[in-house]
Amino acid sequence: MILETILVILIFLFSFLVSLNLTKWWIKVAKINSLIGRDMNKYSRPEVAEAGGVIAIVSIIISILLYIFIKTFILNSESNLTQILTILITLLMACFIGFVDDILGWKKGLKQWQKLLLTLPIAVPLIVINAGTHSMDLPFLGVINFGLIYPLILIPIAIMGTTNGFNILAGYNGLEAGLGVLIFSFLGILAYFLGETWLALIALIIIGSLLGFLALNKYPSKVFPGDSLTYSLGALIGCFAILGNIEKIALILFIPFILEGILKLRSKLKAENFGKTNKDGSLDAPYKKIFSLTHLSIIILKKIKPSHKVYEKDVVYLLWSFEILIILLSLLLLI
């Protein structure tokens, strides 16, 4: 028990330090190669290194491989290796699709349904191992066995939904990585108490890597995550839901992203999340209508803050708080 605890701490620290140091390196490389974008929530539009999320994912992959090595050669255990390798392959596929889009912008010009289908292959690893439990306890309907419908239809829908859903609420310094830390912290704790220790450790690796990245992605950001991170985190949430048999909890945790999708549909998915910037660094709502939770956050904060000044950090903290509220709601449902 003591040995396992020490190994857990070491793997967590390893993932954090790898992510932090590789992200510092990436910032330099990205700027040298002109892989930069403008920070649209700041009046001066400073240049920031793009696509840094790929480094956080590389850190997760390296740390998981280290965990597999320790599990196989030190702990002499081969349990759950198929599921762990499935997570790795899913992660690689999601990161690749996101990174190619970060670099080439290959989704530009495609219709929304075509963009959605681009993420369909990410579900293949889970399908081929027939992941998850086919029976689900649904409200008012009781327990239903979906049979082959579960791996062949429900899993692809779930992975496409989580992959694209997590990507839709983004664009503010630290927002995506912070939401990832909150969600995987809860999923990791839940997995541990459900007896899925291996899944809890994977969550810890993800958290460590995200915190290393967040140290440089938080306000004022020195690096942007890009689709390589958002797609990957969305796919990982889908993996946890399916492999941990916690689909209903994952759906509740995804409420902010579901609401974001509904709001985006009002603009036919054309509205941007960014605020309207002022010279003092404060933000105003960019549209007369609300097309994003970020817009709603700006409006709410302008009414409740004594100064009526809303800054980028305020929006991020409010959305993090909303996710924490959703997590607490999930806890009440589990009790």
Map residue 48 onto helix, strand or coil: strand
Q: So what's the pLDDT on residue 199?
A: 96
Burial of residue 307 (number of CB atoms within 10 Å: 0-12, 13-18, 19+): exposed
Determine, yes or no, domain membership for 58.
yes
**Does the pTM of the predicted model rise above 0.75?**
yes
Determine, yes or no, domain membership for 119.
yes
Query: Structure tokens of 77?
Result: 């255990």
* Residue type at 239 in one-letter notation: C
Q: So what's the pLDDT on residue 110?
A: 65
Determine, yes or no, domain membership for 333.
no
Q: So what's the pLDDT on residue 109?
A: 63
Determine, yes or no, domain membership for 273.
no
What are the start-end ranges of the E strands in the chain?
36-38, 47-49, 135-138, 142-145, 276-277, 283-284
Q: So what's the pLDDT on residue 144?
A: 86
> Are the beta carbons of 194 and 20 closer than 8 angstroms?
no
Determine, yes or no, domain membership for 65.
yes
Domain total in the chain: 1
Alpha-carbon 91 to chain mean position: 11
Q: So what's the pLDDT on residue 77?
A: 86
Q: Give the residue from 57, 54, 55, 38 showing the smallest Cα distance to 46.
A: 38
Integer-rounded Cα radius of gyration of the chain: 20
End-to-end, the C-alpha distance of the chain in Å comes to 28
Q: Give the residue from 86, 104, 260 showing the smallest Cα distance to 167.
A: 260
CA 227 – CA 127 distance, rounded (Å): 23
Mean per-residue pLDDT pooled into runs of 10, the chain (335 residues): 78 97 97 95 96 96 95 88 97 94 77 82 97 82 87 95 95 98 97 94 97 98 96 97 94 96 93 96 96 98 95 98 96 82
DSSP code of residue 122: G
Determine, yes or no, domain membership for 280.
no
Domain boundaries, position 64 = 2-247
Determine, yes or no, domain membership for 310.
no
CA 199 – CA 311 distance, rounded (Å): 37
Q: So what's the pLDDT on residue 259?
A: 97
Q: So what's the pLDDT on residue 1?
A: 60
